[in-house]
Structure 1
Amino acid sequence: MTSRYKPCYLVGVKNENTYLVSGLLNQQFLLPDLLNEVPVGIAVLDINGNIEVVNRTWQTITGAEPDSMIGLKCMLGLRCDYCFKGCPVMSNKADFDPISVDADIIDRSRIKIPIRLTVAPIFSKDNKLSGFVETIQDIRQVAELSSTASKAYSLGGLIGTSSQMVKVFSMIPSIAATDSSVLITGETGTGKDVLAEAVHNASDRAGSPFIKVNCGALPETLLESELFGHVKGAFTGAHENRPGRIKLAHNGSFFLTEIGDLPLSLQVKLLSFLDDKEIHPLGSSVGFKADVRVIVATHRNLKQMVIDKTFRADLLFRLNVIHLHLPPLRERGEDILLLKNHFLKECCTKFHKKIKGFTKKTAKIILAYHFPGNVRELRNIVEYAVNFCDREYIGIEHLPAYLTEQDILRPIMESAKILPEHAPQKEYSPSENWDHAEKRMIMDALVKSSGRKGEAAKMLGWSRSTFWRKINKHSING
């Protein structure tokens, strides 16, 4: 009876056109030149993981001489990080399915090279382990293309593939190369703070401070001291000299968010600083030359404020040298899907959960929502859902209550041919323990307020201190 096993001829070169592989399948194999023509690195190992044969491509990728590799442990010849991450050959496993992984090696020039590694066992005709074969492919070009593709839709913490976002991303390098003032506009929650920091990090000032001040967070009397600093005795309670935030940003970038809330009296002082780059702390006649790049942001219509005489026209002209506008999320199309999945992955890592995605109905509801709170609100919705999801997929019941109300669900349910009366209702179960219900209430309030903790506290009827204590108690990042 003719055997169904055909003779195996492995190809490789040592000094001649034949090579004796002792112990491999208990036979002797001819190794002609064919293997050296294969554009994939190939190595044959014995049952102990020692190298028996390598081809020319393997030598080219690793930079090693074939003769010096023979008899070495594979990990010493290949110098691959996968050797320490569960390689079955290193673990002395005799029976395993062929594997394929992306890994890194260090070549003989000490350069890290990304590779695609495959390892498979070799069995004799009587089904006994005779050795292993491994192949390696240089995937540097693939890795570079992947990196380029990812950069095309991300910058700092901003993510998007819509034409509006790609336009913003393309402008950053040229903007970062100058020191001109930048005005960033956009609705609340669109990522203005993130964009400001991205401009700073892309510039030559990246190694210097990035100082942020929210013009709407402090009363006028404190804001002036916060911006320009004060000297001891300048006012009641000024017990020591204090540098202002502008001085702290020296050689870096100074970011004023909510510039539309800056009082008119301080608009004059800011304009003066922009003209001569010199600050005068309260109570001092000695100025300080601050080398800073000024970036401002607002969700307000500054042109209308100029007409209403609540914002100085000359200050607007001085700030509006470079204008970047971030579109609302509802106008960014497929970016909602991209951001939804990005935040899901981020939250699953943060909360150590293994959620695979969203159900189709849940995804429809999210896509149909108008997101008045923009990206910040989407992030809060995903974080809320991940907190309360105990399944592989996020369902409608895991979304904040306001997303599943009838006026929002109606068009979605109709398109899905689901009767409105069967729409899920968000309720706090009587059997639910108080801590769980309280956390759910806080998350609901944060999502409804688009992450504004002051508004969320008012919704719940709590003081700000009580609200902060409770979100710390439940480890919530709003």
Structure 2
Amino acid sequence: MTERLGSVKRTDPSVVRLFGKPVAFSPLLDEIPVGLVILDLDRRVAMMNRSAEALTGMSRDEARGLPCRHVVRSNLCLQRCPLPEMSSESEPVCLEGDIISRDRERIPVRTTFAPLEDPEGRLVGFLEALEDLRMLQALDASKGRVYSFGQIIGRSSQMQRIYEILPGVAQTDSSVLVTGETGTGKDLLAEAIHQASGRAKGPFVKVNCGALPESLLESELFGHEKGAFTGAGESKPGRFRLAHNGTLFLTEIGDLPLTLQVKLLTFLDDHVIYPLGSTKGVRVDVRIIAATHRDLKQMVREGRFREDLLFRLNVVRLHIPPLRERGGDVRLLLDHFLRAFTSQFQKPIRGFTDEALERLMRHPYPGNVRELRNIVEYAVNLCNRDRVGPDHLPPYLLEEPEAPAAKEAGGGEQPPVREQPAGGPGRVSESTTWMELERRMILEALLKAKGRRSRAAEILGWGRSTLWRKMKRHGIDG
């Protein structure tokens, strides 16, 4: 039976008659690499394809029957939505705007609105086609950059080497393991690989393996069937199925529990997943990119990571060097983020004073590019002159010694030693560990955000779950 678009039903997707025979409609829509949402006359979701699920982060079963504005969550919904004025005679309308995904990510899209008619010409619903514009915007933004690949910026020899091999890596379907310290830009590198690959039209789905407990993470990755466990009232496709024909990015892969490491290894062998509560496998076409700041070889020796999984993930390994080893990239990044934030905040700031620049250039940046970005954002927020001065920098930068202590020849890098600074508990000395500095950054962000965790996470460039986890690690009560 064909499902009517004029009313929403909790039934299987509709079929249409083509060449005199019924044809399954939903699988046809799933093969289109553009998000498609079909609405009834009340502008409630009747059907959506896999690309729309990946964009919105919401499954079709969850979305069915909900108002469009609660699923797509576009800035056009309250400002310029053309659907209220649309009739069966209306021409399609194309508008650009942003949507907010379920993961609270802002995604630029081009939305085409069109009426749907029955054979008699009566209006029975609407079609929304959502085209992801992230790749196009990234290409436009990179036109003026000489030293960049996608959103990655750097002119050091290490970064140039990465730029050279990225195009070739992107054109294969081999698993990629991205390593590097926290804040070096592993997420940007993974997305750059996806956007330069033949899968760029498909979804790029990111999962933080350390953000959820094991029971929830398994369902999030592999999906579940209705009734698979208490509270599973509807079937859920999982991130693997949402990433079909695209890329699944597993960040913090070192935090993946051993039991799920086995399931991931099984998928890498046969590209079949088994949702919770189902004995029937589902074949999906997904490329895996994993990232970690941990030493996976050491975790293998400790029995916390499977060696066979490491071999399967480590087909292509890309290491992003820490910012302290990238020479002139610091100045390049300072200028880039200053331009970005002065434009965003609409401030007439033209650069840094010599003293501020000297302090910024000698800082070791244990938080890497993310820390540098946050420092510049902090400074632009505080600056009320045409140049950023030392008084606009975060306090811990002003408390650093005037010149870094030289290492003994051949002595290598010495481990940090905890000491009580003479300047009081708030002072950051050269021997301060990254854990202490990270705790200080969190406290400053919370102070600036007046205790609002979501705003503090934005200031730090983290997700809310990441901030919550780090606050718990440092014993900070929010």
Establish whether TM, by shorter chain, passes 0.5: yes
Q: 2:142, 2:148 within 8 Å by CA — same for their partners in 1?
A: no
TM-score (ref. length: structure 1): 0.58
Are the equivalent residues in 1 in contact too, given 2:379–2:392 (CA < 8 A)?
Answer: yes
Give the alignment partner of residue 236 of structure 1, picking from 227, 230, 235. 230
Does 2:275 match 1:281? yes
Q: Which residue of 1 aligns with 2:252?
A: 258
Question: 1:152-231 counterparts in 2 under 5 A?
Answer: 152-231=146-225
Aligned to 1:354: 348
Among 374, 377, 387, the residue aligned to 1:383 = 377
CA distance in 2: counterparts of 1:393 and 1:304, whole angstroms: 46
Please say if residues 142 and 150 of structure 2, whose CA atoms lie closer than 8 Å, have aligned partners that are also in contact: no
In the alignment, is the contact (CA less than 8 A) between 2:210 and 2:256 conserved in 1? yes
Provide, for residues 334-361 of structure 1, a one-character-per-residue CA deviation record: whole Å limited to 9, x for no partner. 0000000000000011111110111111
Amino acid at match of 1:183: L
Structure 2 residue identity aligned to 1:409: P
- Of 327, 331, 340 in structure 1, the residue corresponding to residue 321 of structure 2 is 327
Equivalent position SS for 1:184: strand
Q: 1:341 to 1:456 in 2, by over 3 A?
A: farther
Does 2:403 correspond to 1:411?
yes
Deviation by residue 1:99-133 (Cα, 9 ceiling, x = unmatched): xxxxxxxxxxxxxxxxxxxxxxxxxxxxxxxxxxx
Task: For 1:23-422, list aligned pairs within 5 A.
Answer: 150=144, 152-405=146-399, 408-411=400-403
Per the alignment, residue 448 of structure 2 pairs with: 439
State the percentage of identical aligned residues. 57
- The 2-side partners of 1:237 and 1:329 are apart by 46
**1:454 Cα offset (Å):** 2.7
Task: Give how far 1:453 is off.
Answer: 2.7
CA shift for structure 1 position 302: 0.5
Residue range with higher mean Cα deviation, 446-455 or 154-163: 446-455
Change (3 A) 1:268 1:148: closer
Question: Aligned equivalents of 1:438 and 1:256: distance in 2?
Answer: 32
Count of residue pairs the alignment pairs up: 298
Structure 2: segments with no counterpart, 5+ residues: 1-140, 405-421, 428-444
Q: Secondary structure in 2 aligned to 1:274?
A: helix
Q: Secondary structure at the match of 2:331?
A: helix
Q: Is the 8 A contact 1:160 1:339 kept in 2?
A: yes
- For 1:172, what is the secondary structure of its paired residue? helix
Give the aligned residue type for 2:353: T
Q: Structure 1 CA distance, aligned partners of 2:460 and 2:285?
A: 37
Change (3 A) 1:382 1:461: same
State the 1:177 CA deviation.
1.0
Q: Give the Cα separation in 2 of the matches to 1:251 and 1:177.
A: 14
Residue in 1 that maps onto 2:78 = none
Shift of 1:287: 1.1
Structure 1 residue 440, shift from structure 2 partner: 7.0
The structure number with the bigger radius of gyration is: 1
Contact 1:356 1:392 in 2 (8 A): yes
Post-superposition offset of 1:331: 0.5
* Amino acid aligned to 1:454: W
- Identify unmatched segments of 5+ residues in structure 1: 1-146, 413-420, 427-435, 464-478
Q: CA deviation at 1:155?
A: 1.1
The letter for the 2-side match of 1:300 is R
Aligned-partner SS, 1:411: coil
Q: Relative to 1, partners in 2 of residues 1:226 and 1:456: Cα closer, same or farther, differing over 3 Å?
A: closer
1:453 corresponding residue in structure 2 = 467
- Please say if residues 374 and 459 of structure 2, whose CA atoms lie closer than 8 Å, have aligned partners that are also in contact: no
- Asked if structure 2 preserves the Cα contact closer than 8 Å seen for 1:258 and 1:298, the reply is yes
CA shift at 1:439, angstroms? 2.7
Tell me how large the CA RMSD over aligned residues is: 3.1
Counterpart residue number, 2:20: none
Check conservation: 1:355, 1:391, Cα contact below 8 A. Answer: yes
Question: Could you tell me which amino acid in structure 2 is paired with residue 380 of structure 1?
Answer: N
Return closer, same or farther for 1:277/1:401 CA change in 2, 3 Å cut-off: same
The CA deviation string for residues 286-317 of structure 1, in whole angstroms up to 9 with x for no partner, is: 11110011100000011111111110000000
Q: SS in structure 2 opposite 1:230?
A: coil
1:156 is displaced (CA, Å) by: 1.3
Question: 1:401 Cα deviation (Å)?
Answer: 1.1
